[in-house]
Amino acid sequence: MHRMRELGMIVAALGLVAMGAWAVGADVPGWRLDGAGRYVNARPPLTWSAQDNVVWKQPLERWSNASPVLLGDRIFIGMEPSSLVCLSRKDGTVLWTRPNPIEDTLDTDEARADYAAKQAELAKANQELKDARARRSAMAKQVKETPEDEAAQAAMKELTKEFNQARDRQRALQAQVMPPTHGTNGYTTPTPLTDGQRVFALFGTGVLACYDLEGQRQWIRWIGTPVDRYGHSASLVFSGGRLIAHVGRTVHGLEPASGKTLWTAPSRGTYGTPVALRIGEEDAVLTNGGDIVRARDGRVLCSKVGSMPFTSPIVADGVIYLADHPAARAVRLPTEAVDSFEPDVLWEIRWKKRPHRERYYASPVVHDGLFYALNQRGDLLVLDAGTGEEIYVHRIPELKGTMYPSLTLAGDWMFASSDQGVTVVFKPGREFEAKAVNRLEPFRSSPVFAEDRLYIRTLKHLFCLAP
């Protein structure tokens, strides 16, 4: 009976997500709830440190940028390079860990043998590159000590040529074994997603896997290679009963129970997560490529909604909001279902100079008629959500480093974080009013709130914090 009540609660919650609203209870199904980052009924701690207001912290073997996902008495997180991890919500104990390497998606002995051979070639190439780098470094030291030695200069040129050739071989083999990525991004930036019965995990390798709550794999498949050299970061979303994955230049609509592809649609992929929305009675998703795709059949209803190279869009009260380095924009959605439409731009501000014209890795928040955006340098921009009028711009000097974590509203407070582990709590409104500055370990994930608990996945631990 307990499990039935739990599942009923999750199903109801997912219905609210599809409608773009959320009343925070005990569970968090995916990244930023419905993508809007608003935990309106949370009662969050406002101050903490690595020692203060810590309920528990669990050390983790490897890092990830994925946010925690909460379901009942469990927490699901990612871990480099391909693992889904389940922990106890009570004390953080690791209940199970499931790796999802590319070779698990290969269905013939021949394919697995070919992949193993490429892995062996890559291992050899890695060692050759390491040796070439060491020889070049040693010769560079000799050249520095004896700059007049012409033989050393010639040897340095030859060793540099050998190093470049070894590097090119290693990169070519690496691309065959694992898609390219950046050291900051890795392969587990996408946050897992749950429907209350299953947990879905997408990785930067193009692997998508589904597990039950006990860690039994239900299905696994490879859905495509991410094409950006800095890797993949967009998380999964649900819309209209479909599991939506945007990988590379393709949006996939899948059947959650089986992983079967029901449709695909073209859309230029960048880094932000798609957002679910509704147009009349139709479910759809807005991709970070600026396309609105119908959930039931993959039809592209609208293109060129806006440019979002790094961040994710949000939807509030029938309006799409976005902020990235080219511009901030608000686009009104149709009130009735249509087969196609042109963007109805409510307002647009083309950034011309700093601090406005910057990269925005953190996704924005709309709350009480105001639009909040945080750029990578720690400048907070607040606009009137209805008109685009600038209310204020404030540099938050305590936020050192890069602002990768997204802005979050929890209860009556806004939370802005940096990858250095600093979080500034401030009051939403037409003037900046800081409440607290908190320091923890470095992290790039977005904080998650549930009731009076705050969960932060750092590079080394999962923290549970409370007042």
459 and 375 within one domain: yes
> 449 has which bridge partners?
454
Task: Tell me whether residue 374 is in a domain.
Answer: yes
φ, ψ dihedrals at 337, nearest 5° = -65, 135
Query: How many Å apart are CA 371 and CA 328, to the nearest integer?
Result: 10
Give the whole-angstrom CA distance, residue 392 versus residue 77.
Answer: 36
Looking at the structure, do residues 370 and 467 belong to the same domain, yes or no? Answer: yes
Phi first, then psi, for residue 457 (nearest 5°) are -95, 100
Integer Cα distance of 455 and 292 in angstroms: 32
CA atoms within 13 A on the CB side of 317: 11
**pLDDT < 70: residue spans in the chain:** 1-26
Chosen domain end from 140, 156, 177: 177
The region that residue 179 occupies, defined by phi over 0 for left and psi between -120 and 50 for alpha, beta otherwise, is beta
Residue 251 domain-assigned? no
Whether 403 and 454 map to the same domain: the answer is yes
Amino acid at 18: A
Are residues 461 and 373 located together in one domain of the fold? yes
Two tokens at 184? 């900051």
Q: Are residues 52 and 144 in the same domain?
A: no
pTM attached to this predicted model: 0.88
The CATH number of whichever domain residue 380 belongs to comes to: 2.40.128.630
pLDDT value of residue 5: 37
Whether residues 56 and 112 fall in one domain = no
Q: How many CB atoms lie within 10 A of CB 52?
A: 10
Residues 433 and 372 in one domain: yes
In total, how many domains does the chain have?
2
CB 404 within 8 A of CB 421: no
Q: Kindly state whether residue 340 falls inside one of the protein's structural domains.
A: no
Q: Please report whether residue 344 resides in a domain.
A: no
For the segment 40-56, what is each residue's pLDDT rounded down to a tens digit? 999 999 999 999 999 99
Residue 391 counted as domain residue: yes
**pLDDT of the residue at 10:** 36
Is 67 part of any domain? no
Q: Distance between CA atoms of 252 and 222, rounded to whole angstroms? A: 12
State which of 146, 177, 208 marks the end of a domain.
177
- pLDDT for the residue numbered 23: 38
Give the domain extent around 117.
Answer: 104-177
Domain co-membership, 110 together with 54: no
- Please report how the helices 150-177 and 109-145 are oriented relative to each other, as an axis angle in degrees rounded to 10: 160
Q: Is residue 433 part of a domain?
A: yes
Can you give the three-state secondary structure of the chain, one letter per residue? CHHHHHHHHHHHHHHHHHCCCCCCCCCECCCHHHHCCEECCCCCCCCCCCCCCEEEEEECCCCCCCCCEEECCEEEEEECCCEEEEEECCCCCEEEEEECCHHHHCCCHHHHHHHHHHHHHHHHHHHHHHHHHHHHHHHHHHHHHCCCCHHHHHHHHHHHHHHHHHHHHHHHHHHHHCCCCCCCCCCCCCCCEECCCEEEEECCCCEEEEEECCCCEEEEEECCCCCCCCCCCCCCEEECCEEEEEECCEEEEECCCCCCEEEEEECCCCCCCCEEEEECCEEEEECCCCCEEECCCCCEEECCCCCCCCCCCEEECCEEEEECCCEEEEEECCCCCCCCCCCEEEEEEECCCCCCCCCCCCCCEEECCEEEEECCCCEEEEEECCCCCEEEEEECCCCCCCCCCCCEEECCEEEEECCCCEEEEEECCCCCEEEEEEECCCCCCCCEEECCEEEEECCCEEEEECC
Picking from 145, 177, 209, the residue at the C-terminal end of a domain is: 177
Instruction: For residues 393 and 453, state if they share a domain.
Output: yes
Beta strand 54-59 pairing with 38-39: unpaired
Residue 442 included in any domain:
yes
pLDDT at 26: 57
Is 465 found in the same domain as 368? yes
Question: Quick one: which of 355, 460, 354, 442 has its CA closest to 401?
Answer: 442
Query: For residue 300, what are its two tokens?
Result: 């592209």
User: Do 394 and 451 fall within a single domain?
Assistant: yes
Cβ neighbours of 9 (radius 10 Å): 15
Give the pLDDT score at 392. 97
111 and 49 inside one domain: no
